[in-house]
A and B are shown apart, each in its own frame.
Chain A
Amino acid sequence: RKEVEQDPGPFNVPEGATVAFNCTYSNSASQSFFWYRQDCRKEPKLLMSVYSSGNEDGRFTAQLNRASQYISLLIRDSKLSDSATYLCVVHTGGFKTIFGAGTRLFVKA
C-alpha cells in the first residue's frame, strides 16, 4: 500500500463548479499535512497547509480527519486558472515528506 494515495482523475469540470479531492495516508504518526499545486512542466508549490480544525483560504477549503487518516480539498467556484495537478503531501516526522501521485483537474470554459 502506498503511503499517500489519491484519485488520479482527471477531473473535468465547468467553470463555476465545486470540486472535491480526497487523499488517504497510511502512517498514523504523520504530523503535518499539505496540499501543493503543480502546473504543467513546473515545480510543485504550496497551496495550503491542512489543520485538524479545517481551514479555508478564499475558494479553497482543506480538512483533515486523523481518525480516518483522510485529507480533503474543496475548490468552490472553479476558475480556468485552477487547472493543474493537486498533490496531497504528508510529513511523517523525522524530516520525511511524502507526496501523493496527484489529482489532475481541468476546468473548462
Chain B
Amino acid sequence: DAGVIQSPRHEVTEMGQEVTLRCKPISGHNSLFWYRQTMMRGLELLIYFNNNVPIDDSGMPEDRFSAKMPNASFSTLKIQPSEPRDSAVYFCASSSPGTGSSGANVLTFGAGSRLTVL
C-alpha cells in the first residue's frame, strides 16, 4: 500500500494566485480529512468527508478555501486567492470505516504539502 499520497510536496506562490492541493487516500478508507499545521496554531481540522460527502467544513477559515472529493480516490483543497497568512503545511489523512473495529478512527497521514505564499 502506497499510503496517503499528497501533491505537490512544496509550493511557493505569490499572493493572489490560486493554489490547488491534491490527495489520494488509502484504498478502502472512506473518511478523508484536511488539516493545516502552523507553529502558532498547531494542527487545525479544516474539513472532513465520509463516503465522498463533506460532513463538517466549519474549520475552513473563509470562503477563499474550498474542498472537493469527486470520488473515493481523490480530493482537492483549493485556495483562491491565496494570502501570505495561508502559508502552512497542509496534511491530508484518511481512516478506515466503522467504530469499535481494529484500526477504526485511526488516521493515516500523507507527507503534507508545504505552502509558502509570498
Contact = CB atoms under 8 A, between A and B. Distances in A.
Interface residues of A, number: 22
Interface of B: 31, 33, 35, 42-43, 45, 48, 50, 55-56, 91, 95, 99, 104-112
B107 A97 contact: yes
Contacts of A99: 35, 42-43, 45
Interface of A: 31-32, 34, 42-46, 49, 87, 89, 91, 93-102
Given A43-B109, A43-B112, A98 B42 contact: no
Contact of B105 (A32, A45, A100): A32
A95 B42 CA distance: 20
Contacts of A91: 105
B50 A95 contact: yes
Contacts of B112: 43
Contact of A95 (B31, B108, B111): B31
B106 A46 contact: yes
A91 B31 CA distance: 13
B99 A96 contact: no
B107 A102 contact: no
A96 B45 CA distance: 9
A62 B96 CA distance: 23
Contact of B109 (A32, A45, A95, A102): A45
Nearest to A85: B42
Given A87-B43, A96-B56, A34 B109 contact: no
A97 B45 contact: yes
19 contacts: A31-B105, A34-B105, A34-B106, A43-B110, A44-B109, A46-B108, A49-B106, A89-B107, A91-B105, A93-B99, A94-B56, A95-B48, A95-B56, A96-B48, A96-B55, A96-B56, A97-B95, A99-B43, A102-B43
